[in-house]
Structure 1
Amino acid sequence: MRDEREAAALRATGLADRVVIADATDPLAVAAAVDTPADVTVVCVDVPGAEHGAVLATADGGTVVFFSMATSFSAAALGAEGMAADVTMLVGNGYTPGHAALALDLYRRVPGVRSLIDPRVRA
């Protein structure tokens, strides 16, 4: 997360097991902020350079899901190789059949999802 206000909003939803505040483009800061590496790390930041921090935040045998147009997949793959990180890397492509219905269903059924979205879209 980028700041305490955003982190508090996410914590309040109960949607995440752990929330840390760190500069996603600073791998050492991310590694220092994450006391126990995650089984699944999702990268959806809109800045380049978050690949190595995501790999360091992920446990051996874990999965990193890159879902950002700013991701350099060669940097992610070569970085993981250089760090001897045993992680599976997945690329989100933005389209899955039924994704719109799934998103609307999550919004309708999961209060935590609504609590994150509503303040951003309602006047």
Structure 2
Amino acid sequence: MVPNEVEAERLRATRLADAVVIADARSPLGLSQAVAAAGGPADLTVVCVDVPGCEQPAILSTAQGGTVIFFSMATNFAAAALGAEGLAADVTMLVGNGYVPGHAAYALDLLRADADVRAMFEARLSE
């Protein structure tokens, strides 16, 4: 999921995604409808955005029995937990803390080894 056509075109030019959805990650119905139109709901949703208010949209876009990984400092974890309950969503919610031993070396190795990942970073850095 990306917020605009510019990002969508960048992602479509790679092998990094099977489907590309343009939507506002803060819009519960907008995101869930866009994900459904692309074949969703998703079995796995990873929230790694830097804007608040993405908890319920992520939960609504995730299949019953699926998993949502909240990996964003903008996440309101109380809103996520209460939102899932209020939506009667049977999803597993995980919280990433940003630290895994060897994560920096892994990230650099991925950037060096995968031309598509490198191209995405280079496109953003050239702006």
TM-score range, shorter chain: over 0.9
Instruction: Look up the equivalent residue of 1:14 and give its one-letter code.
Output: R
RMSD: 1.4
Match of 1:39 in 2: 43
How far did residue 74 of structure 1 move?
Answer: 0.7
Unaligned runs of 5+ in 2: none
- Whether 2:117 is the aligned partner of 1:113: answer yes
The Cα of 1:14 is off from its aligned counterpart by: 1.6
- Secondary structure in structure 2 of the residue aligned to 1:105: helix
TM-score by length of 1: 0.93
**Residues of 2 paired with 1:17 and 1:89: CA distance?**
23
Query: For the residues of structure 1 that align with 2:62 and 2:102, how far apart are their CA atoms?
Result: 29
In structure 1, the residue matched to 2:4 is 3
Compute the displacement of 1:17 (Å).
2.3
Residues in 2 aligned to 1:67 and 1:114: alpha-carbon distance in whole angstroms:
21
The residue that corresponds to 1:54 in the other structure is: 58
Tell me the distance in 1 between the aligned counterparts of 2:17 and 2:5: 15
Which has the higher mean CA deviation after the structures are superposed, 49-58 or 111-120?
A: 111-120
How many angstroms does 1:12 deviate by?
A: 1.7
| TM-score normalized by the length of structure 2 | 0.90
